[in-house]
Structure 1
Amino acid sequence: MPPGSTGAAAPPRFMVAAPMTGQGKTTVATGLMAALRGRGLEVSGHKVGPDYIDPGYHALATGRAGRNLDPHLVGEDLVAPLLLHGARGVDVAVVEGVMGLHDGRLGTDGFASSAHVAALTRTPVVLVVDVARMSRSVGALVAGMAAYDPAVEVAGVILNRAGSDRNTAEIVRSLDLPVLGVVGRDEGLSSPSRHLGLVPAAERGGAVQAVERMAEHVARQVDLEAVLEVAASAPDLDARPWSPWVAPGTVGAHTRTAVDDRQPATGQTVVAAEEQPVVAVATGRAFSFRYAETEELLAAAGCRVVGFDPLEDTALPAGTRGLYLGGGFPESHADELSGNRPLLEQVREAVHAGLPTVAECAGMLYLSRTLDGEPMAGALDADARMSDRLTLRYPEAVARTDTLLTRAGERVTGHEFHRTRMTPGACGRTPAWEIDGVAEGFASPTLHASYLHVHWAGHPHLAERFAAAVHAATPVSPARAATPIASNAHVPSAAGTTAVPGEGPVADPLRHHGDREVGSGLIDLAVNVYAGPRPVWLDRALRESLEDVGAYPDAEPARTAIARRHGRRTGEVLPTAGAAEAFTLLARARAWRRPVVVHPQFTEPHAALEQAGHTVTTVLCRAEDGFAFDPGAVPEDADLVVVGNPTNPTGILHPAETLRRLCRAGRVVAVDEAFMDAVPGEPESLAGETLPGLVVLRSLTKHWSIPGLRAGYVAGDEAVVAELARAQTPWSLSTPAIAATVACTDARATAEAAERALTLEEQRAELESGLREAGVAFVPSRAPFVLVRAGAGGHRHLRERGVAVRRADTFPGLDASWIRVAVRPPETTRPLLAALADLPNTEETRCDVHA
């Protein structure tokens, strides 16, 4: 790199390209991404061109957002920075080409082709050639492709759909380049398609399994070490990673600027997430087309992006002040979209009332009066129908007048890809664009709707104007939360309040804890901390640790102790400042597409995910099923699943085999075992198992009576643990916490933990026996607490009699009739049982939950 360069070290990388379309690029590229990730590498996926579908499969394969690299959409200067941005922290970046290697925008001599992007990013090319109907001619074809453009390095070849060994050997002898793999025919890998190409991963049942099969198919027949050698040959780049915080044109009243996307600039005020205006972004099967950078730009402009599914959610997210409807296939789901009348009506009223709204292609169809005869939102005076004519173009568009996004005369580059036609009504309209002299779309000071897809990283002023309008807007009314729920049971809004008859509401249910319940004169049966004294050896370790607080803490002894405790390598464990820090690290580790939290359970992971800007899908375990967990209820496209075991507050211990069934390629499964050390023998624990994507979170604060210290850890998949370690703030663990972790994980502590677990089991048995005698319903527990059905006024009734228990209506899936009771010695439990004995005798409290 030349002196004074502003460049940055670039990751190892390679491009998967082909002589023409239809050669198997997507299968090979996606398979390579998943196979490399399966080896424990952090992989990023990138796609040349404007395509949205292939990046969806890349995301499943890598566990990271799929990214696009397109000089037409963003300009040549941004291609390398966007590659570096999408590849932050990875071990290898894989770029999938488009069409044939040298095929670009017509009439431009290959502009925006795979070769163009390879040259801009100095990325070596691995050429995929379908050899099903060829022999020695493959050598001539590859030689021509390799020599055609000196700026492009073709470093190796993968032969796809190879036939007999004899013909394959003939082909190999014809080549002057290394053969990195010979992939045989497998018709089972063909991807379903329809009128606009492949079916998106978000809509395809079994997409995860398809990617897993691609990975197995490719890993078995491609020399991954040789591919990594090609990637390692890629040079550094004279470029810096793109950042939404410093994108040209985005510095405005609501935007903070910074060196990169992790630190605010000095003197800038960072607005708390709950105070940021909400931009509702359409997601789900019908709306899966959008660039990741769009949401990143909005977040950098001070907005909180919240997803909603127009097929499932009956209202816009609470507090919506902006609406972004991206691309997708609404025509394939028109009847389902039309059937969701409450949401359509709210959208129509909100758009007419001036809600800042951007709608690209599918979004515009959704806002129309009808789509193939099915009623839509009716926010636009237009009707849409399928057409025999495919519109596919790479145009430059001009703004005719000032609108929500544009100013008169401004030009943008974009792409169109659709097979529908819009018929505007008779009333006049302001077009969004003029393309090739023809007016297109609909626009106003608060609306911008058109067929044109625009990559906002290349035109960041569009994001800035939209964000400014959002900041100035008022929330839609009614502002009803629309959290996706994979169950028919009622779930309180994560952002709302929960009321108990006769008691005040909880303003932030997800952050309500048992310590809020205790008070002067109350018997504490609310806090889940072991009631006995701390061991002498633990107090001694804590006192001795104070002698070392004059130096920065070193967490390695804790890491070593945890690894020894579970028979793991040190790279497979991470000490944390309690489970709370682990949840925060997990929430921040990736741009999760569909994180799932299984409820009812400890609410901290849900809160951490929301705080990190994610929209959480809730899967409910229901009382009528004994709060058993069905892994089949988890959406197939979930890339993160968090489940407690044993679960707080139900005390249910899920079978380990049930939780193992959650693991699959492209998914992280986080099992919260905060109370497992209180279960004698720790049955069903996964803390010592090694499964792809599986991590177990443990807390030491409850069992050892040190909640004020914050000590815990993560154990599991080394690649995931490494991600969490990278997200961890240096020295987040205090020296006393490290000392406590070492002390509480040695052999002496393990033996005493088992004794404490037996004591808790005996105390819980006495509590449950007392509940049976009192005729009060409860859920049989394996944890140091019991979920009790005390009735709607039970919580207040107990407080009036001097007993503090944990109200359970703040756990999603439970209502005010439930309370959680901590296991305590019998003498502490007796006042609770006496108070419960004179509860009103209602069907709600006497139901046979414990039978």
Structure 2
Amino acid sequence: MTSLPRVVIAAPASGHGKTTIATGLMAALRRSGHEVSGHKVGPDYIDPGYHALATGRPGRNLDAHLVGEDLLVPLLLHGARGADVAIVEGVMGLFDGQIGGRGFASTAHVATLTRTPVVLVVDASHASRSIGALVAGMHAYDPDVPVAGVIVNKVGSDRHAREVVDAIDLPVLGVISRDDGIVAPSRHLGLVPMDERDDAAAALDRLSERIARAVDLDHLLAIARTAPDLDAKPWAPAVTPVAGRPRIAVAGGRAFTFRYAETEELLHAAGAEVVAFDPLEDAHLPDGTDGLYLGGGFPEVHAAAIAANAPMRAAVREAVLDGMPTVAECAGLLYLCRSLDGAPMAGVLEADARMTGRLTLAYRHATAPADSVLGPAGTVATGHEFHRTHVTPEHGPTAAWTSDGRRLGFASASLHASYLHLHWAGAPHLAEAFVSAAARGLAPSRYAPTATAPSPLVPRDYSTTDSAARVRPRNEAVDRDHTAPAEPLRHHGDVEAVEGRLDFAVNVSSEPRPDWLTDALLRGVARADRYPDDRPAARAIAHRFARPLEEVLPAAGAAEVFGLVARLRDWRRPAIVHPQFTEPDVALQMAGHEPTHVVLAEPDFTLAADVVPEDADLVLIGNPTNPTGRLHRARDLEALRRPGRLLVVDEAFMDAVPGERESLAARSLPDVLVVRSLTKLWAMPGIRAGFALGPADVIAGLRAVQPPWAVSAPAIEAMVACHRPEAAAEASGRASRIVRHRAVLADGLAELGIAAVPSEAPFVLARVGQGIHAKLAAAGYAVRRADTFPGLDDRWIRIAVRPPELSRKLLTALRIELS
């Protein structure tokens, strides 16, 4: 018998907040001195990443479909080895399972099999006493499911909370206000993976503190300790190790965030050495690789970055086509295709992938029709499909699986690629077969990295400023033709987007504003008969980014913030990292300062901390940067921090980056000011709406030099509307469309042989050569001239991302002008 205090965190339905609260409970218990193990009911692969961050241990899944009922308790005990409490997060509603499955593999089913008490998380935002009836029904529905307590979420006031709690007959462990800022970002398949959130650790700290204040952790632990002992042994990999210790490279990084923890454990137990590589960042496979495992993730979000890493795509293509044993699941399948939404992939499979509006979500009982690296013909397994992409064709000459009469995926003697995610603990023979295949053909020496010319993805040597970046006086001239504007720092794309030209010059979204935003703007106009009060905007922004109110300053666009910063102090040596938008230059000059330009080098404009003068007391940088589209890593930005220096990060285009990865907006850092704008994504340049997030003393200083009533009533209403939950879904959709549309443009430029900077923004900086800007204008296409940006000349143009049909017209015009 094994003793394990444990509790299941469940809900009446999806959307009640169980993921966020379960993760917060794990973090709060850990910070109070407990060793906590985190578990997730079902096949979900994002929540366990948050659990791992909260507990410091691998997140684990409990899915009766994938591993069978008999393995649930052993897997629970295996994951909880050495822990003094286990927190199991449920899936969907407490009693919900696969349609037609009568609750099989539901949260209630897992709670019953593992004999674990349940704590319900209930969203009370749209009811009061009715919550008591809901809880009573959940408690009485199945006597074998022990509902032992309740956490009430999203109450609107103390009075509301008292009404709800009074109606509940079960113990209430905590009440959480909907104004507590307890949120998590989401995207088209659920939450944004933890590996894609550079603010994850800081956000978790805030979440842990708020949960610890709101929930009675001692009462929760008391419930967990009522769980009876379990009559089972912890799971252990039941495989026979092979000789030779083959090296298996496992894809990781932002694009490949998912694999079950037991997968690597089984590979190790089968005799493999497991090494990680990042298809986004690494230029070659790990030295001596004998096998490839390409698991799940979101390559559709990172298609452009994957496409930009041509050396890695070529290395994977060569390895797989040369017979390296390879297993690819879902994201791995997409990576091996020729293209994904038009962006080039590895090109191993004669297939193309694209995003669709349809979600495929299903368990599959599958049989292998032929021999492959996962075993002989007739091998059976149960897998899970979860994707919004479609591969054409759906299968190769030899399919990976057959299921319900359908052929799925691609297979050969050395390759197995399909949409199915497999939990190998339920079929350990798959791991043994894969490692055996890798051991039979240990990698030849050609898979070791070779001494070749430096890849553009290899970090640049910053030991000399000539090869990387140069510091120059503000007035040093750049090459321009005779049509250069008299005041280049004040030049704007609007000047070029004249009537009669297709507009690729203005970096404002071409999508129409949503109705709710137009309604908000009209409300603002209706309130123009009084002086504006920006406090509602500040509260909405503070809630969205989980920042204290005193760290938020609404403003009349980002341009006003730059002007306020310029007047904030008597800066000794302000520095601007270029190429960069020129509004900060103008603001500093108007305030009497002479900014130093730190100019990053072509072709990739990579940032390094040592390129900024050490004595700079103000540093301004864009992320993603206008006009390069370069998304700097958050850790590289933080490396620019120095005592006595204010770092200003212009995130005007960050809301166009899915998941807003690399953002510092949700980080309360003592010397970092983040500037945001609503102009671009929401298509309202005529409404000057922006804000700053930063240390309370800096915000107070900015407010002291800000004119009274600087923010208009329509801008205030827009800020409130754009930080509500419905806006988050719309913003996510817009950002995803930008990624897909940008890939069409970037791929077309590559086909024309035009060098372009890999972009994470709604524009692409392309080096087309001298004179092309003027030729395109004559042909009826407005693109943004780039020679007005310090550090660039007239060989470059900035092209705004537009729908594919318009981008193809521009690409055709470029082909004609370049021929």
Normalization by structure 1: what TM-score? 0.53
- Indicate conservation of the 8 Å contact 1:489/1:620, yes or no: no
State how far apart, in whole Å, the 1-side matches of 2:392 and 2:462 are. Answer: 41
What secondary structure is seen at the aligned counterpart in 1 of 2:28? helix
**C-alpha displacement at 1:173, in angstroms?**
2.2
Q: Deviations over 1:352-374 (max 9, x none)?
A: 11100000000010001111111
1:715-726 correspondence to structure 2 within 5 Å: none
Residues 1:430 and 2:398 are matched in the alignment? yes
Gaps of 5+ in 2: 464-606, 615-622, 624-630, 637-641, 644-663, 665-819
Residue of structure 1 in register with 2:327 after alignment: 358
Name the residue aligned to 2:3: 9
Task: Give per-residue Cα distances to partners, 1:524-583, cap 9 Å, x unaligned.
Answer: xxxxxxxxxxxxxxxxxxxxxxxxxxxxxxxxxxxxxxxxxxxxxxxxxxxxxxxxxxxx
Answer whether contact 1:208 1:637 (CA < 8 A) is retained.
no
1:231, distance to aligned residue in structure 2 (A): 1.1
The structure-2 alpha-carbon separation of the partners of 1:428 and 1:165, relative to structure 1 and needing over 3 Å to count, comes to closer
**CA separation in 2, counterparts of 1:50 and 1:74?**
10
Whole-Å separation in 1 of the counterparts to 2:128 and 2:314: 61
What are the residue-to-residue correspondences of 1:544-583 with 2, within 5 Å? Answer: none
The aligned counterpart of 2:192 is 199
Match of 1:374 in 2: 343
Q: Structure 1 residues 391 and 412, CA, compared in 2 at 3 Å: closer, same or farther?
A: same
- % identical equivalent positions: 62
1:286 to 250, 255, 260: 255
- Which residue is 2:71 aligned to? 78
User: Kindly tell me: are residues 634 and 386 of structure 1, through their superposed partners in 2, closer, same or farther at Cα, counting changes over 3 Å?
Assistant: closer
- 2:265 matched to which residue of 1? 296
Once residues 175 and 486 of structure 1 are traced to their aligned partners in structure 2, the CA distance between those partners, rounded to angstroms, is 60
The equivalent residue for 2:128 is 135
- The amino acid of 1:125's aligned partner reads V
Residue of structure 1 equivalent to 2:166: 173
**How many residue pairs end up in the alignment?**
483
Whether 1:91 and 2:84 are equivalent positions in the alignment is yes
In structure 2, distance between residues paired with 1:154 and 1:363: 40
Change in 2 beyond 3 A, CA 1:206/1:624: closer
Deviation at 1:116, TM superposition (A): 0.7
CA distance in structure 1 between the aligned counterparts of 2:447 and 2:240, rounded to whole angstroms: 32
For 1:171 and 1:65, locate their aligned partners in 2 and report how far apart those are by CA, in whole Å: 36
Letter in 2 for 1:303: A
Please give the alpha-carbon distance, in whole angstroms, between the structure 2 residues aligned to 1:53 and 1:637: 23
Q: Which residue of 2 aligns with 1:475?
A: 443
Contact between 2:396 and 2:411, CA under 8 Å: does it hold in 1?
no
Offset at 1:623?
Answer: 12
Contact conserved, 2:319 with 2:447, CA < 8 A, in 1? no
Q: 1:366 to 1:276 in 2, by over 3 A?
A: same
Task: Tell me if 1:100 matches 2:100.
Answer: no
1:743-822 matches, cutoff 5 A: none
Q: 2:229 aligned with 1:236, yes or no?
A: yes
Provide the secondary structure at the position in 2 that maps to 1:366.
helix
Q: Distance in 1 between matches of 2:421 and 2:46?
A: 14
Q: 1:416 aligns with which of 376, 380, 385?
A: 385
Measured after TM superposition, the shift of residue 193 of structure 1 is 1.7
Partner Cα distance (2:632, 2:139) in 1 = 47
Query: 2:154 matched to 1:186?
Result: no
1:625–1:349 CA distance, 2 compared to 1 (3 A):
farther
Q: Deviations over 1:791-833 (max 9, x none)?
A: xxxxxxxxxxxxxxxxxxxxxxxxxxxxxxxxxxxxxxxxxxx
Q: 1:58 aligns with which of 41, 51, 58?
A: 51
2:423 matched to which residue of 1?
A: 455
* 1:455-534 matches, cutoff 5 A: 455-475=423-443, 477-480=446-449, 488-489=460-461
Name the SS of the counterpart of 1:47 in structure 2.
strand
Out of 150, 154, 159, the position equivalent to 1:161 is: 154
Determine helix, strand or coil for the equivalent of 1:306. strand
Question: 5 Å matches for 1:185-264?
Answer: 185-186=178-179, 188-244=181-237, 247=238, 250-251=239-240, 253-254=242-243
Distance 1:253 1:202, change over 3 A: closer
Contact 2:242–2:271 at 8 Å: present in 1 too?
no
Cα pair distance change 1:47/1:37, threshold 3 Å: same
| 1:387 is the counterpart of 2:370 | no
**Secondary structure of the residue that 2:86 maps to in structure 1?**
strand
SS at match of 1:202: helix
Sort the Cα spacing of 1:413 and 1:636 in 2 relative to 1 into closer, same or farther, 3 A: farther
Deviation at 1:205, TM superposition (A): 3.1
> For the Cα contact (< 8 Å) 1:189–1:210, is it kept in 2?
no
Deviation at 1:637, TM superposition (A): 9.7
Tell me if the contact between 1:24 and 1:160 (Cα under 8 Å) persists in the aligned partners. Answer: yes
Partners of 1:141 and 1:237 in 2: CA distance:
31
CA contact (8 A) 1:18 1:129 kept: yes
Identify the range of structure 1 (471-480 vs 391-400) with the bigger mean alpha-carbon deviation: 471-480
**What are the residue-to-residue correspondences of 1:826-845 with 2, within 5 Å?**
none
Deviation at 1:474, TM superposition (A): 2.2
Q: 1:344 aligns with which of 288, 307, 313?
A: 313
Contact 1:383 1:424 in 2 (8 A): yes
Aligned-CA RMSD value: 3.3
Q: 1:37: Cα distance to partner?
A: 0.8
Native 8 Å contact 1:208 1:636 kept in 2: no
AA of the residue aligned to 1:122:
R
Give how far 1:320 is off: 0.4
Structure 2 Cα separation of the partners of residues 132 and 178 of structure 1: 19
CA contact (8 A) 2:241 2:269 kept: no
Partner AA of 2:37 in structure 1 = S
Q: TM-score, normalised by structure 2?
A: 0.56
Q: Is the 8 A contact 2:36 2:55 kept in 1?
A: yes
Compute the displacement of 1:399 (Å): 1.5
CA distance in 1, matches of 2:339, 2:330: 14
Against the structure 1 CA distance between its residues 86 and 480, is the aligned structure 2 distance closer, same or farther, given a 3 Å change threshold?
same
**Contact between 1:370 and 1:384, CA under 8 Å: does it hold in 2?**
yes
CA distance in 2, matches of 1:314, 1:167: 56
> What is the CA deviation profile of residues 585-612 of structure 1, one whole-angstrom value per residue up to 9, with x for unaligned ones?
xxxxxxxxxxxxxxxxxxxxxxxxxxxx
Distance 1:322 1:625 in 2: 46
Once residues 303 and 186 of structure 1 are traced to their aligned partners in structure 2, the CA distance between those partners, rounded to angstroms, is: 49
Asked if the contact 1:125–1:152 (Cα under 8 Å) also holds between the matched residues in 2, the reply is yes
Which of 275, 278, 293 is the equivalent residue of 1:309? Answer: 278
Question: Structure 1's 480 and 173: CA in aligned 2 closer, same or farther, altered over 3 A?
Answer: same
| Deviation per residue, 1:269-300 (Å, 9 max, x gap) | xxxxxx73211000010000110100000011
Using the TM superposition, give the Cα deviation of residue 145 of structure 1 relative to its aligned residue in structure 2, in angstroms: 0.9
Q: Hey, which bits of structure 1, 4+ residues long, moved more than 4 A?
A: 485-491, 619-626, 632-638
In structure 2, give the amino acid aligned to 1:44: S
Contact (CA 8 Å) 1:487, 1:620: kept in 2 or not?
no
Structure 1 position 410, deviation (Å): 3.0
CA contact (8 A) 1:139 1:174 kept: yes
Aligned residue number for residue 726 of structure 2: none
Corresponding residue number in structure 1 for 2:299: 330
1:188 shift after superposition: 3.3
Deviations 1:457-477 (A, max 9, x none): 001000000010111122252
- The separation in 2 between residues aligned to 1:24 and 1:486, in whole angstroms, is 42
Alignment partner of 2:49: what SS?
Answer: helix
Contact 2:355 2:389 in 1 (8 A): yes
